[in-house]
Structure formats: C-alpha cells, structure tokens
Chains A and B, each alone.
Chain A
Amino acid sequence: MPLSDEGNLWIQARNGDRKAFARLFDLHASALYRFASRLLGPGPDAEDVVQDVLLSMLQHDKFDPSRGSLRTYLFGAVRNQALKRQRVVLEELSPFVPSREATPDQEMARLQTSSALATAIKALPWSQREVLLLVHYEDLSLKEVAEVLELELAAVKSRLHRAREGLRIILQPLLVPKGDRR
C-alpha cells in the first residue's frame, strides 16, 4: 500500500526531519488540542497530551498506515493519553468571546447557554463525551470514531445517541422561550 503524504511526513519526522514535524504539528495540533482540552479541560494537561502524542513518534512509533489514517491514529493516541491521566477537571472552557452583532440580552442568553452546555458536556460520562466531541467538533465520521475508540459502529451510534439525549435533558430549560416558563 503506498504511503499517503501524511504517512511520508510522519516517517520523515520520525527520522528527525524538523520541517516535516512542524508541518504535522500545523496540520493536527489545533484539532488535537481542542479534543484534549474538552476531555481534560484547557490548560497544561491538554498541552502535555498534545506534545506527548506528537513526540511519541521518536520513541515508539505505533502508527500503521494499513490500519487507518494518521488523523484517526492521533485522535486515538490523545484519547488514550487523556484516559491515562484520568483527571476529569471541571474547569471553565476557553474565555467566551461575545459576538459584536448581538444585543446584550442575546449575548447574556448565549453566555448562559454556552456555560450550561460546557458544564453539561463535562457532566456526561467519559465514553459518551469522547464520542460526542469527535463527531460534533472534530467532524469525524462514525466509522472513524469507531477506529479511534476501537469500538463497533453500533456502539458508537448508541453512545452518541445517549450523549445527545443527556444534553437535551440538561439544556431543555435554557432553550425554552421565557414566555413558556410558567
């Protein structure tokens, strides 16, 4: 099987090519950090996970192009690293950036929703949260998520469904129009 461009980059970086490593970092670090920070909370832990995953190639390269893409391999590695840490920190997510076009009332409502959503996501069980994050925020297909988590496709679908149902229950009061709350 011919190696993809990313597969070649990976091999070059593993052999010490700095430019190849920087290219891989630029391609994947943002998504990996997003995923890690939403699993562990933003901060040093998420940064360490991203760094460790990318530098792990120099010590023990387990990437096998025949088993999947580099992207799914990296997400799986981040997930495993995060699991090892086992520190689910319920911290605030990144600072909220208000929209310039929204009115103050709308911004307040949006802030409340976002905070509630962030809290709700962190309150989800780990197995549901990682599926939801990969599908909704990293645009991985269900099949790719199954590769990352080494699960059956049906299990991925089931976890995603339960995650969405849980969020729906938590967020329902916030999304109901004020006039309906009586």
Chain B
Amino acid sequence: MNDSQLDSALNDLPQPLLPAGLRDRTLAAFDQRRPKVRHLPRLYRWIGLAAAGLCVVIFAATMGAFQIQDTPRTWEIYRLEDGNVFAVKTVFHPTSLSTWLSFFTFERESGMREGQYQQIFHLRLTGLRLGYRVKPQAAGDGTYNLIFSKAVNPPAVFASIPPHPAVKVEEPFVLGTSETGFYTCFIISRNGVNLPECEPPPKRAMVHVSQTSITKGPFVAHVYRPVARLTRHLKISELRLGDWYAESQAQLSTEELRTPR
C-alpha cells in the first residue's frame, strides 16, 4: 500500500457535519454570558455631553450675573489706622476668565506734592475668584497686605504693597486725567466712593478737590500741572457728588487759579 493509496483511503472518510442547532445553541449561550454593559459607554457619553452643556449654560449665566453684580462701579475705600487710604475695586472679565484687581494708595497726612500722582495698580488674579473683596492691612513694617475677605477661606495674604510715598490726598478728593487739557473729575464722598476708572493713569495732571462739608459747597479743586509748574486752585460751587467734572464746566479765572487756598 503506497502513499497515494493511503491518501485516497483517508480522503474517502466521510466528513462529520456540524450538528443542526449547535449554532443557535451556542449563540444563545453567548447571549446569556456576554457582558451586558456594552452599550453603557455610549450612554455615558451622551450623559457627559448633556452635563457639559448644562455646565456651560450655568457657567455663562453665572458669569453674566457676576458681571452685573460683581463689577462695582464704586470703589471700596479702606482707611487704615496709620492714616493711609486704599481704594480697591475688583472687576471680573468673562472674556479672559480672570479677575483684575485695581487699587489706589494714598497717604492722608502729609498733603499732596506738586506734579505727582498716586499709582494705580492693576493686578491680574489667577483663577476664577468671584464675589470677593480685598481688604488692605498694614503689615507693620511699612508695607501693606491685601487680604481676601471673601471666597478664600482662610483669608490669605495676596501681596505686599508698599504705600506710594509721593501721593498725598485730602478727603474727599477728585482724580483727574489730562492729556489734552480736558479734565475729568469725580467726587469722592466721605462715606462712599465714586471714582472713575482712570485709564491711563494720570500722568501730567492731578485734580484734587477738598471741602469742609460733604453736603455743602463750595468744593475746591487743586489742580497740579507738572509741566507748567503751576498750581491752580479751582472753586467748584455747583459740583455734585458723583458728577463728572470737566474743565469747560468749571468757572475758572486766572485770579482764582493763581491764588493758593
């Protein structure tokens, strides 16, 4: 018996056929045992997308609310025990998702010098910090700390701010900007703050208004022009709290300007 005869004999052996029903039985067993959670990931994706969309809506609404509520047009004024005055305002910008902290420093006692102005600080705060206030606090070593009084618990020291040595102010006071000879002023009351956002910070002129009574006029504005080396004193009798003041509206006279108060 040679190899070809043996192969021929082997080929004659019938092929066992797959039993009918084995496929169905096996698939049924597969259905019973297979993981049943295979569609859940897709469901989770939809749930995640819906949750993310809802979060975006809530976030936008919250931002809008805070933009309205938490963007004060007034400044927080803090008068410290050492006589220094801080004006602080925080503004949240939804576009940059950041909060900007602006503040002024003043020295109350020693009077304002000619040709100098207080510094406006703009600090960008990291992260989303909504609805907080910042309170200055004397560190005791001649510097000042700005402390979060809300939304950060415990309150944390934010920065150490040296007082501006050159700026002296009497209250109430008016800040002014002048690049074109046109002054814009705002009256600050004793109990509240109405300061304009001075951008750019005043570089060439300073308007300083003092008064003896918050409810009575006249207001006196001290205008400092470093370029002209001229100190002008304005008498503004009709200026109301919160009003913008422009030079054109002031009834100035050379006599008044050259007469120190």
Contacts and interface: CB of A to CB of B under 8 A. Distances in A.
Nearest to A176: B1
Q: For B1, B12, B38, which residue has the most chain A Cβ atoms within 10 angstroms?
A: B1
Nearest to B29: A55
A58 B32 CA distance: 11
B22 interface: yes
A18 B16 CA distance: 26
B227 interface: no
A62 B6 CA distance: 37
A167 B3 CA distance: 11
A47 B33 CA distance: 18
Given A16-B38, A51-B29, A55-B30, A93 B1 contact: no
B19 interface: yes
Interface in B1-52: 1, 3, 5-7, 9-10, 12-19, 22-23, 25-27, 29-31, 33-36, 38
A176 B18 CA distance: 34
Give the interface residue-count category, chain A: 35 or more
Interface of B: 1, 3, 5-7, 9-10, 12-19, 22-23, 25-27, 29-31, 33-36, 38
18 contacts: A16-B36, A17-B38, A18-B31, A22-B27, A25-B27, A26-B23, A51-B22, A58-B35, A94-B15, A94-B17, A95-B14, A96-B14, A97-B14, A136-B10, A137-B10, A164-B6, A171-B9, A172-B1
Given A34-B15, A54-B26, A93-B16, 19 more contacts: A16-B34, A21-B27, A22-B23, A26-B23, A37-B16, A51-B25, A51-B29, A55-B26, A55-B30, A58-B33, A94-B15, A95-B14, A114-B14, A136-B7, A137-B10, A137-B15, A168-B6, A171-B9, A172-B1
